[in-house]
Structure 1
Amino acid sequence: MQFLTLAVAALASLALVAGAPIEKRSQRGKATYYYQNGQPGSCGGYAGDNDRVVAISSKFKSARKCGGKLKITNTSNGKSVTARIADTCPTCAKYDIDLSVGAFKALGSMSKGVLNVDWYNM
């Protein structure tokens, strides 16, 4: 009987640990933009230039969750945007991202071309 009580208590404590939220780790990199040109992203869906989508570096496999969302913040002006992961960026460095025009405009001026950003998986 004591073993059964101990086993139930151990399983209950595991359930509490398993339900704990995962820490949101922020990444720092550069953001550029790209045009959709009517082509599907590597996740298989189509997006327009005004949609808020992001391409993640193909070197950063753990962040690439098709349909997942990233919270992206321009470190220069503090503006933030949430964008859906829809593509991969084979030419991006590990922590760099490529944004749709709509997502990039939400963070800063298109004339900048490249923004310093912090981002994390939501």
Structure 2
Amino acid sequence: MFAKIFTALLVASAVVAAPIETEMEKRVNHNGQATYFEVGLGACGWWNQNSDYIVALNSEIFERNGGSNCGQGITLTNTDNGKTIKVSVADECPTCDGGSLDLSPSAFAALTDGNMDQGVFPISWHFNKKH
């Protein structure tokens, strides 16, 4: 009898101890639009430059995660031309819908071969796993 109770408790504790999978660990893919902005002091609390590869995360995801994505890496793809870069979350974008992101000018230029006149393009992205 003791062995059965011990086994049941052991299994139950393993279930309780199992970590909750975050969006970053599940590698959720997001789709939206990319725009760009002149960077400065971001919602994450540090100063950025236009030459930094950073993004402003849409408010829905930024607020859902309580701003905990600050500094988190993202793999970002221009779905029109297939170009992919790595960027970091440094700000919040209250005007971005769903999976849309606001990019620093250098990140935007890297995905459009320097064509800033494009103004907006479709993207796909996911958080990189934390190490």
Q: TM-score under structure 1 normalisation?
A: 0.83
**Residue 10 to residue 25, structure 1, CA distance change in 2 (3 Å):** same
Pairwise CA distance, 1:55:
0.3
Please tell me the residue identity of whatever aligns with 1:24: R
Structure 1: gaps of 5 or more residues: none
Q: What SS does the aligned partner of 1:117 have?
A: strand
Pairwise CA distance, 1:30:
0.6
**Residue 10 to residue 42, structure 1, CA distance change in 2 (3 Å):** same
- Mean alpha-carbon deviation: is it higher for 82-91 or for 55-64? 55-64
- Mean alpha-carbon deviation: is it higher for 112-121 or for 57-66? 57-66
Instruction: Name segments (4+ residues, structure 1) moved above 2 Å.
Output: 9-15, 17-22, 59-64
- Mean alpha-carbon deviation: is it higher for 75-84 or for 5-14? 5-14
Partner of 1:41: 42
In 1: Cα distance, 2:20 partner to 2:43 partner: 31
Q: What SS does the aligned partner of 1:59 have?
A: helix
Q: What SS does the aligned partner of 2:60 have?
A: coil
CA RMSD of aligned residues (A): 2.1
In 1: Cα distance, 2:119 partner to 2:109 partner: 10
Report whether the alignment pairs 1:23 with 2:26: yes
Partner of 1:77: 81
